[in-house]
Amino acid sequence: MAFMKQAKTEDEIKKMTVKQVKEAYNTLAADYNHLIEFDYYYCHCCNTFQSKSNFYQSKTNASGYFHMCKKCTLKAATDYNKKDNTYKDNREKTINVLRMMDKPFDDSLYNNLLRAVKADVGERSIETAWQKMIVALSSLPQYKDMTFANSDFGTHTESIDDDNDEEIKELIKTGRKRFGKYPSEELYFLEKEYEDWVTRYPCDNKAQEELFKRVCFKQLEIDRATKANRDTKDLDKSLQDLLGSLGIKPNQNSGDSLVNQLSFDQMIEKWEEEKPIPEPEGVFKDIDKIGMLIDVFFRGHMAKMMDIKTCFSTIYEKFMSKYTVTKPQYDEGEDSETLFNKIFGAEADRELNDS
């Protein structure tokens, strides 16, 4: 009990007022009551006795609680900056602390929570992925009987690209407006699924919007149940009923009827993704040279007219040179008599001979 509050000495009591003695007694009595009721536990890191609410539960310790308080655990699982009292997530430290607690590390969950923390800039209640993760591991049923031996470290560590921060924030913000107040990782899932559904199928009125929202919620429930190894038969049936209400169950739609429900832009997107137009064979590739004519007589002519030097003006000049007559140029350096003879010499000789 070296780190518990100690009783005042006789000399100290003599110097205190009645009110101060009362306060000291109440404080010491409160600590004593906590101890005998097993509500106080000792943190081996900061060497203090604290209420058990300040400790995480742990099956590996006889007391039923982890040997470090929550604040010390947070410092151990993250990069703590003493100067500004901030915490930055550190994957390896998080894994080490979970190893000590004998709790599983889930690579996918951790990376999703990192994204959620990046997106929740306005929510100051929980600031690190570690705090979100320990809550998830302690409360979600799929992790109830799992230990560190059940950890999934993934094939690689995903990094959060700062360029995508705004996109993620905007997606979660939109999801919050559409679905309400849910954890950020769930809003991210719901909004992504909703966008996928309304992109693939027509959604022209509020009734369809609401049904698609219910489909997304049902998908989230199925995902949770699957991770918890629970039966999803009833959930699957509910999902099928919702799809039936929308008229998009697989057995309700042939390929043609699905196309008939799509808007024109959705049909074009479907064709481009599933069966794009192939490259034409050689004999059908611009047999009228229409592309070349546009480059010459539209782009090239405009560039030439505006005296802009581009590749199109060059193409225009080369093409038109075949149909252009160039006036002969007179070189003053050339002998004028030679030039005269070339032009008029033969005719002049005939006239002289005739005379």
- pLDDT at position 280 over 50: yes
Q: Which of 319, 343, 339, 321 is nearest to 330 (CA)?
A: 339
Q: How far apart are CA 144 and CA 98, in angstroms?
A: 14
Cα 140 to Cα 43, 66, 109, 126, 143: the distances in Å are: 26, 19, 12, 17, 6
**So what's the pLDDT on residue 184?**
78
Least confidently predicted of 112-121, 165-174, 191-200, 300-309: 112-121
Q: Which of 70, 29, 22 is nearest to 46 (CA)?
A: 70
- pLDDT at position 159 over 60: no
User: What end-to-end distance do the CA atoms of the chain give, in Å?
Assistant: 148
- pLDDT at position 126 over 60: no
**Amino acid identity, residue 230?**
R
**So what's the pLDDT on residue 216?**
93
Q: Does residue 41 lie in a domain region?
A: no
Q: What is the pTM of this model?
A: 0.39
Cβ neighbors of 68 (< 8 A, separation 6 or more) are 43, 44, 45, 55, 76
Q: Does residue 313 lie in a domain region?
A: yes
Cβ neighbors of 89 (< 8 A, separation 6 or more) are 78, 79, 114, 117, 128, 129, 130
Domain count, the chain: 2
Beta bridge partners of residue 86, listed in sequence order: 81
Cβ neighbors of 61 (< 8 A, separation 6 or more) are 67
40 vs 192, higher pLDDT: 192
Q: Does residue 124 lie in a domain region?
A: no
**So what's the pLDDT on residue 100?**
87
* Residue 334 binned pLDDT confidence (cut-offs 50, 70, 90): low
- pLDDT at position 3 over 60: no
Regarding whether 311 and 218 lie in a shared domain, the answer is no
48 vs 68, higher pLDDT: 68
Q: Does residue 265 lie in a domain region?
A: yes
**So what's the pLDDT on residue 183?**
78
Q: Which domain holds residue 311?
A: 288-320
pLDDT tens digits for range 198-245? 888 888 888 999 999 999 999 988 887 887 677 888 888 999 989 888
Regarding whether 293 and 243 lie in a shared domain, the answer is no
Would you list the DSSP string of 172-202? HHHHHHHH-S--HHHHHHHHHHHHHHHHHS-
